[in-house]
Amino acid sequence: MADVTATGGTITYREAVAEGIAREMRRDPTVVCLGEDIGAAEGVFKTTVGLFKEFGPRRVWDTPISEQAIVGAAMGAAMTGIRPVAEIMFSDFLACCWDYLANEIPKVRYMTGGQVTVPLVVRTANGGGLGFGAQHSQAVENWALAVPGLKVVAPSTPADVIGLMAASIRSDDPVVFFEHKGLFASKGPAAPEGHVVPLGAAAVVRPGADVTLVALASTVPVALRAAETVAAEGIDAEVVDLRCLVPLDMHTVLDSVGRTSRLVIVEENPYQGGWGATVASIVADEGFESLDAPVRRVAAACVPLPFADSLEQVVLPTADKVAAEVRRLAAY
Amino acid sequence: MRPQDMAFPTYREHGVLYCRGIDPIMPLGLFRGVDQGGWDPIEMKFAMYTIVIGAQTLHATGYAMGIAMDGKVGTEDGEAVIAYFGDGASSQGDVNEAFVWSSVFHAPVVFFCQNNQYAISEPLERQTRVPLYQRAHGFGFPGVRVDGNDVLASYAVTRAALDQARVGQGPTLIEAYTYRMGAHTTSDDPTRYRIASEVEAWQAKDPILRVRRFLEQQGLADQSFFGEVDEQARVEAVKLRERVLELPDPAPVTMFDHVFPNGSPEIDEEREQFTAYLSSFAGEVH
């Protein structure tokens, strides 16, 4: 495992995933990991490097290729009092175990009158930008957002991966933890020992006065690049990293819009039914008087993600597309 | 089942529920739609009724892996898990995944398939071309068929399989061969898809009648005993019926309870708004 505990060091997003899990496994002997190829192979995305070596087969379960079983067994295991961290290799495959994620896990608490909790995390590699085609590239946080009873986490930086992983594993709620494939190679400051980022606390990652950009995971760097572009033109954009969709920190968003009076939402999922629609509807409801311009959503086109690199960039939000919307709103 | 064993039922396992000491009013509260059942699955060692067909087999497998990890398996006093399901569920992908997993992880779980030969209208021939118990062989663990209308045989086979599991011998599939005497639901009309003579043949194999005849022939019980049991059942049923009719409707605001273990700001806000909305009717009957 990379030495990422040294202060002042940098760490990749990919290393942060393994580090975040390892810290919790050291802290809490009831945490176990399960999934395909997460043990000796250390994960197809190398996001579980070192775990098998350190914790062994008793706590790192290499499983058959059966998504329903990974998530369904995680639920049963959680009922015994352990905290399973289950990996679904690609978030697209959440569709293969949707019964467990939509019908079983989020309803256990409710349907037992509060008597059974299943404190588990389903981690999954999410999103596009790597040319993996229509069935291995989708950003599907909005699928999980549609199911009451699930918490939805999607970090954008290595330190947040560690801090939010800690909060997710310690949470008694079932959490779907989206790790963005396009961010795995990105680097950032290492998180200090004991670093925990509470679920449902958005971060203002770039303060600004003219336009608010709300982003999540991969769209955070996109929004930041767009903000740099328009800054050169005299437009001061604020960027809010939501970090979680459930709980959704609308206080930070409404506070920002209260100061800027303009809002652009940048989301990777297709426009139809995207998470930005929820953010926009709450701002329309509770922040209407703050607004001096229409709310704009920069989302993916409503098509399956194309295989071709050039087309993928046409479908997905880019800094240029975001900058164009920011200019339009600033001039409104 | 021993006290430490865990059961994962279908939504029809009322007999097992009763044997686990759960008040039968609890599932009736669920079916009446006034609550979600209410028993504590962990304390009673009897999981919630699983509505989606077959899903409980994977919950059971994961639970079995969990207790194995905790070192609660491998001795005469070890723990074991039993998952109940039907012949229809045997066609579900997750049930087959549970077979794979329990096999390769050597999980202490007993799969109890109550093969009553009909999944609503679909006959057994639509689920399988081999006897269901034989499937276990392909997954690498023993399968056994038992006469599901023979109470003592079913008990003996279940006990042996659970004991195998608890000492660390891995999973077993039990196929309890029986017949669904009634309709699947109140909206189902079985005369559309099966013939009366088939039903009559199975009526003659009534398991309750059989155990009664057995006890009589062995001289283990007499007429007064059965009279007492019948009367006890009658009184119990009348009492239960009265209790069902008296079940109160839940307060509307309780719909927000228990969505998340530690609450959630969004749900709290919704509850607050809904409470304010409700109180706007203050004084009115609603």
Across the interface, whether the CB atoms of B61 and A200 are under 8 A apart is answered no
- Residue B114 in contact with residue B57, Cβ under 8 Å? no
Residue B285 has what pLDDT? 56
The interface residues of chain A toward chain B in range 90-109, judged by CB-CB distance below 8 A, are: 99-100, 103-104, 108-109
Q: Is A251 a catalytic residue?
A: no
- The ranges of chain A annotated as CATH 3.40.50.970 are 10-189
pLDDT in tens, B215-260: 999 999 999 999 999 999 999 999 999 999 999 988 888 888 888 8
Tell whether B134 and B275 lie within a shared domain.
no
Residues 148-187 of A with CB under 8 A from B: 148-149, 151, 171-173
Does residue B215 belong to any structural domain of this protein?
A: no
Is the C-alpha dihedral spanning A71, A76, A77, A82 positive or negative?
positive
Average pLDDT for chain B? 93
Residue A4's pLDDT band (cuts 50, 70, 90): very low
Contact A201, A155 (CB under 8 A): no
A7 close to B (CB below 8 A): no
pLDDT of residue A3: 47
Please answer whether residues B252 and B281 qualify as being in contact, where contact means their C-beta atoms are separated by less than 8 angstroms.
no
Query: In terms of domains, do B68 and B182 share one?
Result: yes
Predicted pLDDT at B252: 85
Nearest CB partner across the interface for A79, out of B63, B258, B260: B63
CA separation for the pair B189, A68 (Å, rounded): 33
Q: Please give the pLDDT value at position B206.
A: 96
Beta carbons of A75 and B62 less than 8 Å apart: yes
- Rounded CA gap, A290 and A257, in Å? 7
Q: Are B39 and B163 within one domain?
A: yes
In a domain, B121, yes or no: yes
Q: Determine the Cα angle at B267 with ends A146 and A104, to 5°.
A: 45
Please tell me the distance in Å from B69's CA to the nearest CA on chain A.
7
- d(CA B160, nearest CA chain A) in Å: 23
Q: Are A229 and A319 in contact, with CB atoms under 8 Å apart? A: yes
Answer positive or negative: Cα dihedral of A98, A104, A107, A109.
Answer: negative
Instruction: Indicate whether B261 pLDDT > 90.
Output: no
Please list, residue by residue across A153-190, b when 16 or more beta carbons sit within 10 angstroms of its beta carbon and e when fewer do: bbbbbbbbbbbbbbbbbbbebbbbbbbbbbbbebbbeb
Q: Tell whether A80 lies on the interface with B, counting CB pairs under 8 A.
A: yes
**Token pair belonging to B269:** 């806000």
Confidence of residue A2 (pLDDT cuts 50, 70, 90): very low
| pLDDT of res. B148 | 97
Cβ pairs bridging A and B (under 8 Å): 143
Question: Residue A8 has what pLDDT?
Answer: 63
Residues of B taking part in catalysis: 180, 184, 193
B176 & B259 share domain: no
Q: What pLDDT sits at residue B265?
A: 84
CB atoms B40 and A81 under 8 Å: no
Domain limit, last residue, from B153, B178, B193: B193
What's the whole-number average pLDDT of chain A?
95
Contact, B169 vs B133, CB < 8 A? no
The domain total for chain B is: 2
What is the rounded CA–CA span in Å between residue B278 and residue A282?
22
Report the pLDDT averaged over residues B102-121: 96
Residues B159 and B267 placed together within one structural domain of the fold: no
Identify the pLDDT of residue B284: 62
**Distance set, CA B109 to CA A20, A66, B64, B172, B263 (Å):** 33, 18, 6, 7, 34
pLDDT at residue A9 above 60? Answer: yes
pLDDT of residue B165: 98
**Sequence-distant (≥ 6) Cβ neighbours of residue A10 within 8 angstroms:** A158, A187, A188, A189, A190
Residue A80 DSSP class? T
Same domain flag for B157 and B285: no
Q: Are residues B138 and B270 in the same domain?
A: no
- Side-chain half-sphere exposure of A310, counting CA atoms within 13 A: 0
- Mean pLDDT of the A78-98 span: 96
Contact A173 B260 (CB under 8 A): yes
Going by CATH, does the domain composed of A203-330 fall within 3.40.50.920? yes
Strand order in the sheet with A296-300: A203-206, A237-241, A211-215, A263-270, A296-300
> Boundaries of CATH 3.40.50.920 in chain A?
203-330
Spatial CA neighbour of A266 closest among A192, A316, A203, A210: A316
Residue B201 lies in a domain: no
Q: What would be the CATH architecture of the domain defined by A10-189?
A: 3-Layer(aba) Sandwich (3.40)
Region A34-62: mean pLDDT is 95
Query: What span, in angstroms and rounded, lies between the C-alpha atoms of A9 and A234?
Result: 34
N-terminal to C-terminal alpha carbon distance within chain B: 47
B140 contacts in A (CB within 8 Å)? Answer: none
Q: Which residues contact A29 (CB under 8 A, 6 or more apart)?
A: A59
d(CA B74, CA B4): 14
Which residues does chain B have within 8 Å of residue A29's beta carbon, measured at their own beta carbons? none
For residue B65, the domain's CATH number is 3.40.50.970
> In terms of domains, do B125 and B48 share one?
yes
Instruction: Say whether pTM exceeds 0.90.
Output: no
- Given a cut of 60, whether residue A5 has pLDDT beyond it is no
A128 φ/ψ angles, rounded to the nearest 5 degrees: -115, -160
CB contact under 8 A, A73 and B35: no
Residue with tokens 């006897």: B131
Q: Which residue has the higher pLDDT, A209 or B284?
A: A209
Residue B140 and residue B44 in one domain: yes
**Domain of B269, in residue numbers:** 251-286
Question: For the segment B19-46, what is each residue's pLDDT rounded down to a tens digit?
Answer: 999 999 999 998 888 888 789 999 999 9
Asked whether the predicted pLDDT for residue A6 surpasses 50, the reply is: no
Contact A79 B100 (CB under 8 A): no
- Together in a domain, B55 and B163: yes
Residue A309 neighbours by CB distance under 10 Å: 10
